Structure 1
Amino acid sequence: MKLGLLTACLGAQSLEEVAAWASQAGYEALEIATWPKGTGHVHQAAHLDVAHFSAADAERVRELLDRYSLTVPALTYCDNNLHPDDRRREAIHRHLRSVVDAAAALRVPYVCTFVGRDVTLPVADNLKLAERHLRPLAEYAAGRGVGLLAENCPMEGWHPDGYPGNLAYSPELWDWMSGLGFRLTYDPSHLPWLGIDPIDALRYALRRGMVAHVQAKDVEIDERARTRHGVFGKTAERSSPTDVGWWRYRVPGRGVIDWNRVIDTLYDHGYDGTVAVEHEDPVWGGPLPRIHQGLRIAAATLRPFITPETGDASSP
């Protein structure tokens, strides 16, 4: 198992700058963010220009990663693959296919994305839409030796009333999406506020061979505030889609997730992939030095539980 980080939080830095910093900070892998250039969101970076990715670019990136002894478990582009606007949805799919092509060129095994949802339609209609739109994407990736993964993020900010906007948020839906050719990017931070036990859900997914990649993000919960707002969060008082009022994302070690049990469960079921820190912590966001400190807190929390690879079969 390797300790990695998702590069999305470091959009102000080049991939080489990210690699250099991550290596000296004790990280072993980069989950590379590949949103379209100019997206602009603080957690959406373009560390590879996949729309114009050449064989020379692939060679340059491989040399860079080798220089810093880093691996890449996945490229990541999470957008709404069931977007209600036909033109917008096709643009998302076109970019996702470019991410898959870049992953194939780099010999990266997975691309992380979302299922998404057409929030104008009920879930039953969305399941039919997914059969039409998602299965061809999974087949496109498989034909290039790449697996498509869906993260279990609810994306409640995509729904006008704060309901799940990404139909991969529960174990019931993990079974469904596996039938479309998707496996799971497991992120435990999305589960406690939904009332789902993250360890039970992880065991369930591991037993079924669904977990291909793990993101490490924590969640801080204020149960007294939940009493005021309810499980779906603020309504009239909400200032932004993410202003739910009773929970917020944190770096590992600053929330309620039991990382000792999460990592031990992964080892117990033979998971040998990457655990990649996803930094969306508002306390440790903002200027680059604070983001770096948040990533150091995450590494210090997780490293005692993840045995680094030594290359020595006799090592414990």
Structure 2
Amino acid sequence: MKLGVFTVLFSEKPFEEMLDHVKQLGLETVEIGTGGYPGTAHCNPAELLEDEAKLKAFKKAVDDRGLTISSLSCHGNALSPDEAFAKASHESFVQTVKLAKALQVPTVTTFSGTPGAYEGDKQPNWPVAAWPNEYGDILKWQWEEKLIPYWKEMAAFAEEHGVKIALELHGGFLVHSPATLLKLREACGPAIGANVDPSHLWWQGIDPVAAIKILGKQDAVHFFHAKDTYMDQDNMNMHGVLDMQSYANLQDRAWYFRSVGYGHDLKTWSDIISALRLVGYDGAISIEHEDGLMSIDEGFQKAVSNLQQVLMKEPAPKMWWL
């Protein structure tokens, strides 16, 4: 496994300065934003695809520092009823897949997306209750008319380019759990897999170790985000896990994101890393820092320090004692 970072964290730094900063802290790989919510501060796919010299210079800057690119990330919502945003998200995904092939990057990370409740709706709709029955009807329509048709086509497109799609299991989107990921994968093929981010599993009540094992049995772990979550039981008793308060309201929220080791202890994180090894995942451990209590650099460095203690970098040995 290689320790890396989702470089949107350092969007204010120029590309090569960001690479130097990451290298100095002992990281080995970078996940780079290519559009959608992550933006294009460090990588504009359209520009690189149109200019071979710029493409080579981009790759050389990474190679010269002994780094690799673990993933290109274009998290958006190509199913959104907002036609302009849906189109931008789709075009960003298509360009990102093409760029991933050109750069020999194995994985593109994104969201599954969420459509409206019906044709002509104006906003995305995320059903979270089985009753009243209307919610089930909405969910069935979303999957059958929007989600599966779109990702069946995009999975085939990604396979043609030799790229895997890692859908982040994130609340607010139709694919947010092992079950929803595996349901979509069954309908669309093995190019579809999970970007496992424990921070979004914990608040849903899902054990990340169990999720990794479930997904791993289907070879469906395509990527991993290292981010933690603190669960405030007193506030959860008041608001429940579907807490719609601002993330800035830390004192009253039921849960909020933390740097690795500040929501769950390192034993928990060592169990997660071990589960990844158990199911054969040997990709990036990509740090995503959204801790409202720490600065960018301090939160990032704490995550690096804590993960270095539990990461497994050497290949598993033969069992010499057998």
For Structure 1 versus Structure 2, the TM-score category normalised by the shorter chain is 0.7 to 0.9
1:48 to 19, 43, 49: 43
Aligned residues: 288
Aligned-residue sequence identity (percent) comes to 30
Equivalent residue for 1:23? 23
1:69 to 1:300, Cα distance in 2 relative to 1, 3 A: same
Equivalent residue for 1:299? 304
**After superposition, what is the alpha-carbon deviation per residue over 1:83-134, rounded to whole angstroms, capped at 9, x for unaligned?**
1133431221111111111111111011001101114352211111112222
1:252 to 257, 260, 278: 260
CA contact (8 A) 2:235 2:254 kept: yes
Q: Which structure carries more relative contact order (alpha carbon 8 Å, separation 6+)?
A: 1
Amino acid at match of 1:216: A
Where does structure 1 differ by over 6 angstroms across 4 or more consecutive aligned residues?
240-244
Following superposition, the deviation at residue 196 of structure 1 comes to 1.1
Following superposition, the deviation at residue 45 of structure 1 comes to 4.9
Following superposition, the deviation at residue 309 of structure 1 comes to 5.6
Equivalent residue for 1:272? 282
CA contact (8 A) 2:248 2:292 kept: no
1:143 to 160, 167, 177: 160
1:213 to 1:14, Cα distance in 2 relative to 1, 3 A: same
Pair 1:283 & 2:293 matched? yes
CA contact (8 A) 1:9 1:45 kept: no
2:143 to 120, 127, 130: 127
Distance, in Å, in 1 between the alignment partners of 2:163 and 2:263 is 33
Distance, in Å, in 2 between the alignment partners of 1:265 and 1:88 is 37
* Bigger shift: residues 50-59 or 206-215: 50-59
Equivalent residue for 1:158? none
Equivalent residue for 2:181? 174
Equivalent residue for 1:60? 57
1:267 to 1:231, Cα distance in 2 relative to 1, 3 A: same
Pair 1:193 & 2:203 matched? yes
1:205 to 1:148, Cα distance in 2 relative to 1, 3 A: same
CA contact (8 A) 2:247 2:256 kept: no
Distance, in Å, in 1 between the alignment partners of 2:4 and 2:301 is 12
**After superposition, what is the alpha-carbon deviation per residue over 1:51-90, rounded to whole angstroms, capped at 9, x for unaligned?**
2213222211221111211111110011112111334312
Give secondary structure in 2 for the equivalent of 1:96: helix
Following superposition, the deviation at residue 239 of structure 1 comes to 4.6
| TM-score of the aligned structures, taking structure 2 as reference length | 0.84
**After superposition, what is the alpha-carbon deviation per residue over 1:171-228, rounded to whole angstroms, capped at 9, x for unaligned?**
1101112132311111111111111111111111111100011110000110100111
Give secondary structure in 2 for the equivalent of 1:125: helix
Distance, in Å, in 2 between the alignment partners of 1:68 and 1:103 is 19
* Bigger shift: residues 90-99 or 21-30: 90-99
Amino acid at match of 2:154: L
* Bigger shift: residues 238-247 or 64-73: 238-247
Following superposition, the deviation at residue 277 of structure 1 comes to 0.3
Following superposition, the deviation at residue 271 of structure 1 comes to 1.6
CA contact (8 A) 1:55 1:105 kept: no
1:214 to 214, 221, 224: 224
Amino acid at match of 2:253: G
Following superposition, the deviation at residue 307 of structure 1 comes to 3.6
Equivalent residue for 1:71? 68
Distance, in Å, in 2 between the alignment partners of 1:47 and 1:68 is 16
Give secondary structure in 2 for the equivalent of 1:249: strand
Equivalent residue for 2:97? 100
Give secondary structure in 1 for the equivalent of 2:68: coil
Give secondary structure in 1 for the equivalent of 2:182: helix
Pair 1:117 & 2:117 matched? no
Pair 1:232 & 2:239 matched? no
